[in-house]
Amino acid sequence: MKRVVLFDIDGTILLSHGAGRVAMEAALVEQFGTAGPSSYRYDGKTDKLIVRETMRLRGFADAEIDARMPAVLSRYLENLLSALAGGGRRAYALPGVPALVDAVEAADDLVLGLLTGNVVAGARAKLGAVDIAFDRFVVGAFGSDHEDRPALPPIAQRRASELLGYAVPGERLIIVGDTPADVHCGRGVGARAIAVAHQVIHEAAISVGHRVRRIDLDRLREIRKRSVELIEVSLDPAAMIVSVGHIRLQRDGL
């Protein structure tokens, strides 16, 4: 039975120098007259939840937010394409990620997928900006499917089951992401997780207190088998932290 590896996008596959936030804030200002509090954190949130929570904080009722949601997202996508095309906010794939994506895609016992708070069109635009084809990811769950992130793993599980022709148990899902929300969202279906840490992640929120060993992420380019082995490690649910530039394996015996 295959494992389904579901990658987050922002902060996991790539960084875009805030292009998504710039695009969303401009769309919110256009539709609501405000971008919401500057202190509001976008990481770990779906696009729709960002709209809802920021506008709630500015006093808008859910009914009004729902009515304007399609227009906000439409304008956001237009702004996103412009921001990604601009030289000042050039997106780039994180070190070692293209090799890891290649390894998962090539493995006979793994399925390459996405689990992201981006709406589908936003996911496609961001991946395209770093020359990673959206269509390589054959299973996905997106912020356009549901605004609550914990609702996305069951959607991905159902789609994986439809693709493979058999019921995929939750423990065969592996979610790769960079925030506590990514790590914890799959608990309802029993999914495993690999957490990607970079400068802004709150590591204490996902640490499980195991010993730490560092391995260069770039070694994944050299040793494809090792790439696959990393995906096959048993996790519960935050037993591994993959950090930009290196991997820190938080697991007994490593």
- Structural tokens at position 159: 């789609």
Q: Is the pLDDT of residue 239 over 90?
A: no
Q: Which of 35-39, 101-105, 215-219, 249-253 has the lowest mean pLDDT?
A: 249-253
Domain with CATH 1.10.150.240 in the chain: 19-88
Please state, for a pLDDT cut of 90, what percent of the chain lies above it: 68
Superfamily of domain 3-16+92-248: HAD superfamily/HAD-like (3.40.50.1000)
**Distance in angstroms (rounded) separating the CA atoms of residues 53 and 59:** 10
**Distance in angstroms (rounded) separating the CA atoms of residues 19 and 219:** 29
**Distance in angstroms (rounded) separating the CA atoms of residues 173 and 164:** 13
**Distance in angstroms (rounded) separating the CA atoms of residues 42 and 133:** 24
- Structural tokens at position 168: 């995929």
**Distance in angstroms (rounded) separating the CA atoms of residues 128 and 150:** 26
**Distance in angstroms (rounded) separating the CA atoms of residues 235 and 219:** 21
What pLDDT does residue 198 have?
A: 53
For the domain made up of 19-88, the CATH class stated in words is: mainly alpha
Question: Taken in order 159, 74, 125, 20, is the CA torsion positive or negative?
Answer: negative
Q: Is the pLDDT of residue 208 over 70?
A: no
pLDDT mean across residues, the chain: 81
Amino acid sitting at position 219: R
Domain with CATH 3.40.50.1000 in the chain: 3-16+92-248
Length of the chain: 254
What pLDDT does residue 136 have?
A: 98
Q: Is the pLDDT of residue 222 over 90?
A: no
What pLDDT does residue 195 have?
A: 80
Q: What angle do CA 128, 134, 135 make, to 5 degrees?
A: 140
User: What pTM, to 2 d.p., does this model score?
Assistant: 0.81
